[in-house]
Amino acid sequence: MSIYIDNKKLLSLPDLAGGGVNLFRNTYDFATWRYTTDKGGFEPASNYNSDSNHEFIQTKTVAHLWGDNAAEAFLHYTQPLTLGKGTYTVSFLARSNNGNNVPSFGLELYSSYTNSHGGLPHGRTKYNLSNIWSQYNITFALPEQVTLTDMSLGYYDLKALIPGGSLYWANLKLEKGPVATPWSPSPLDILDEIEALKSTCSTSVEPKPIGYTS
């Protein structure tokens, strides 16, 4: 996908694939994300103002997923995404509802690439989830340029219970390089907001008849 202004191409996703630039779209409101089966939803971030570390949530919406087991609570990014050969980092805030002594687990990153290359995840979080909002990162390498049709976060174990019954995500970011930087929206999302604002402004101003004076 490319950025155009006045029909002039300025940037494309490969151009933007530098450290600090969020390559995920719609992480502010999860407009084009989905969850496994029907067990999940996207809720206002203000619903979590009583949570520990809630002040670190920068997105408008939080992904809240649940299920009978961990494998039913995957979060999916489904927009096609072309990534060049190199190292990438996925970062996010996450927590569980763990308060009932259910063993916790870390989250794993899968994609259409891993699905066709043995099924093992790109990587796993270094630490297991807790019931406090915390930052998690997964760094992985791609040996070649690929176009991903799906990326997903979760823990694939049909027997693993979800601690407290729920998993929560916010501040999703995918960027080039081995270092996770603070959350920011995709530049393409910002452009969409600018175009929407321009459209609103142009339709809200009514033309005046010739010779009109205020």
pLDDT of residue 36: 87
pLDDT single digits (tens) 131-164: 999 999 999 999 999 999 999 999 999 999 999 8
Which residue's structure tokens are 């290359």? 117
Arithmetic mean of pLDDT over the chain: 86
Fold of 20-204: Jelly Rolls (2.60.120)
- Closest by CA to 25, choosing from 71, 79, 68, 62, is 79
3-class secondary-structure state, position 70:
helix
Query: What is the Cα–Cα distance from 90 to 49, expressed in whole angstroms?
Result: 25
pLDDT at 19 over 80: no
Q: Which residues, in sequence order, are CB contacts of 205 under 8 Å at separation 6+?
A: none
Work out the pLDDT band at 190, boundaries 50, 70, 90: confident
Question: Which letter does DSSP use for residue 176 in this model?
Answer: E
Q: Tell me the residue type at 88.
A: Y
Tokens of 131: 């019931």
pLDDT single digits (tens) 57-106: 999 999 999 988 999 999 999 999 999 999 999 999 999 987 667 889 99
Compute the Cα dihedral for 44, 75, 77, 187 and give only its sign.
Answer: positive
DSSP H stretches of helix in the chain: 13-16, 112-115, 187-204
Work out the pLDDT band at 34, boundaries 50, 70, 90: very high
pLDDT at 130 over 70: yes
Q: How far is CA 41 from the centre of its chain?
A: 14
